[in-house]
Amino acid sequence: MRLIEHFIDGASAGGGQRKSDVFNPNTGEVQAQLILGTQSELDRAVAAAEAAQPAWAAANPQRRARVLMRFRELVESNMEELAALLASEHGKVIADAKGDFQRGLDVIEFSCGIPHAQKGEFTQGAGPGIDVYSMRQPIGIGAGITPFNFPAMIPMWMCGPAIATGNAFILKPSERDPSVPIRLAELFREAGLPDGVFQVVQGDKEMVDAILDHPGIGAVSFVGSSDIAHYVYERGVRAGKRMQAMGGAKNHGIVMPDADMEQVVNDLCGAAYGSAGERCMALPVVVPVGRKTADELRVRLIEAIKSLRVGVSTDPDAHFGPVVTAVHKARIESWIQKGADEGAELVVDGRGLTLQGHENGFFVGPTLFDHVTPAMESYREEIFGPVLQMVRAESFEEAISLPSQHQYGNGVAIFTRNGHAAREFAQRVNVGMVGINVPIPVPVAYHSFGGWKRSAFGDTNQHGMEGVRFWTKVKTVTQRWPDGGASGDSAFVIPTMG
């Protein structure tokens, strides 16, 4: 059985007695064993990072950027192999797996512009003979703790700006698809990144807690489910670290009566069912405004769902593949049951789907509920599967209040031809990322990604200039170069520049 290890100080490394199974969701088989690390592997990684980071930070920013450029080229040129590896552990279809890398590479490209992004500020003559300048210095050693659903993109959201700004970075990936991060570490090495600057430690809660408590680590970025995000955020802050922790989501798509219905149905199918709904920017809730809109949408959705193909991740015609584990499949199916028990109308039931030749794969078919209400637990909580819930609204006001009052506030979309309604919506909705006729409004790499309410803890978003700010601290220098000797007078009041 293949053993997946850590990547410490430029090489594959063992360590840790406990192991966990890594499945192939297409077949249900255990395809590898993952070593679960402990404090002692983390200590080794931190020691290697401490040895490597000062020279990396001292390298000029163009040099750091060039390593990232080479890394980008290497990921591109190994894309087929990488996407196949990712799909075999996650279950998403190959085209979607390539998108996972591509969205990550967008952030690497942004990070290649670090000589510009890390420039400081300068004021000449802030006082008599006094200049003030500020610079952004790296935190030192940063860590990233990532979820299973984007095993390439989310590590790159974090390590791109962290490494570019001169930090050493330690990644703790999800236990469910841990192989891609190891390949990223190998490719960084091939690109010329010094050993110890990007490392991977494998593990579960034990390793997460070790990271949060380690005095050598200055900043931690987390992405995962909300309860764990909240726990990680609080524990890290208590240990004096800079923290950001992105959590779960329940994104709504508002459909106004004037929307282009054909486009809406296409967009909803992709956004609700793509990647088996395992995206924090999926659209698992649709809110048609008015009965006529709802009735038409329902008929069209039922038709569209019939044409969706669920298949193994290597099937080029499949719209989506299996979910990540048998445990997750059971969890999704129990939410479907819960929705039906709560009184929602189960219009299309995706349970019980089996694929010939892949009877043990973790497949769940597209599922549609109508007449879901805000009081239902299956509406309030995240399902994270191919389940679309229709909540009917009578008015625009009711539609805007649903995502605004929901505990999660990651993304939201409105479909309309009315510019005024769209503008009102974008201004007023209590959610962090808004799409206008865009179902999955994931911001481009040079903007930043982050939700509101229980979808994110901490003040700083991922990537863009927010990422540069998160991974650096500002130092401000006030300098005076007098032309003669010291004046000899002591100042006992706060200096003013007037």
482 CB-contact burial (10 Å; exposed 0-12 / middle 13-18 / buried 19+) = exposed
Active site residue 112: no
Residue 118 and residue 128: Cα distance in Å, rounded? 28
With binding defined as CB under 6 A, does residue 148 bind ligand NAD? yes
**If you ran DSSP here, which 8-state letter would residue 484 be given?**
S
Q: How many CB atoms lie within 10 A of CB 109?
A: 15
With binding defined as CB under 6 A, does residue 403 bind ligand NAD? no
Residues 191-230 that bind ligand NAD (CB under 6 A): 204-205, 208, 223-225, 228
Single out the residue of 5, 370, 382, 466 in contact with ligand NAD (rule: CB under 6 A): 382
Nearer to ligand NAD, 145 or 308 (CB): 145
Closest separation in Å from C-beta 231 to ligand NAD: 6
Closest separation in Å from C-beta 340 to ligand NAD: 23
With binding defined as CB under 6 A, does residue 165 bind ligand NAD? no
- Find the catalytic residue in 112, 159, 269, 280: 280
With binding defined as CB under 6 A, does residue 94 bind ligand NAD? no
**What b-and-e string marks burial along 327-348, b requiring 16 or more CB atoms within 10 Å of the CB?**
ebbeebbebbeebeeeebebbb
Single out the residue of 147, 160, 218, 321 in contact with ligand NAD (rule: CB under 6 A): 147
With binding defined as CB under 6 A, does residue 384 bind ligand NAD? yes
Closest separation in Å from C-beta 40 to ligand NAD: 18
The answer for residues whose C-beta is within 8 angstroms of residue 468's C-beta and 6 or more apart is: 114, 117, 118, 136, 161, 165
Q: Which stretch binds ligand NAD (CB under 6 A): 2-10, 31-39, 244-252, 306-314?
A: 244-252
6 DSSP β-pair partners: 13
Residue 383 and residue 296: Cα distance in Å, rounded? 25
Residue 487 and residue 141: Cα distance in Å, rounded? 42
Binding footprint of ligand NAD, residue count (CB under 6 A): 26
Closest separation in Å from C-beta 135 to ligand NAD: 29
Site string for ligand NAD, 430-459 (x = CB under 6 A): ---------------------x---x----
Q: Nearest 5°: phi and psi at 120?
A: -95, -160
**CA 67 distance to own-chain centroid:** 23
Q: What is the DSSP string of 291-354?
A: HHHHHHHHHHHHHHHHT--B--TT-TT-SB---S-HHHHHHHHHHHHHHHHTT-EEEE--TT--
Question: Is 417:284 a contact under the CB 8 Å cutoff?
Answer: no
Q: How distant, in Å, are the alpha carbons of 270, 374, 389, 416, 450 from that of 253?
A: 12, 15, 10, 11, 18
With binding defined as CB under 6 A, does residue 146 bind ligand NAD? yes
CA-based end-to-end distance of the chain: 73
Single out the residue of 82, 243, 249, 402 in contact with ligand NAD (rule: CB under 6 A): 249
With binding defined as CB under 6 A, does residue 246 bind ligand NAD? yes
Nearer to ligand NAD, 187 or 200 (CB): 200
Q: Tell me the Cα Rg of the chain.
A: 25
Nearer to ligand NAD, 136 or 463 (CB): 463
Nearer to ligand NAD, 205 or 380 (CB): 205
Nearer to ligand NAD, 259 or 433 (CB): 433
Closest separation in Å from C-beta 495 to ligand NAD: 44
With binding defined as CB under 6 A, does residue 169 bind ligand NAD? no
With binding defined as CB under 6 A, does residue 379 bind ligand NAD? no
Report the sign of the C-alpha dihedral through residues 396, 401, 402, 403, in that order: positive
**CA 115 distance to own-chain centroid:** 25
With binding defined as CB under 6 A, does residue 181 bind ligand NAD? no
Q: Active-site positions?
A: 280
Task: Provide the binding-site residues for ligand NAD, judged by CB under 6 A.
Answer: 145-150, 172, 174-175, 204-205, 208, 223-225, 228, 246-249, 280, 382, 384, 410, 451, 455
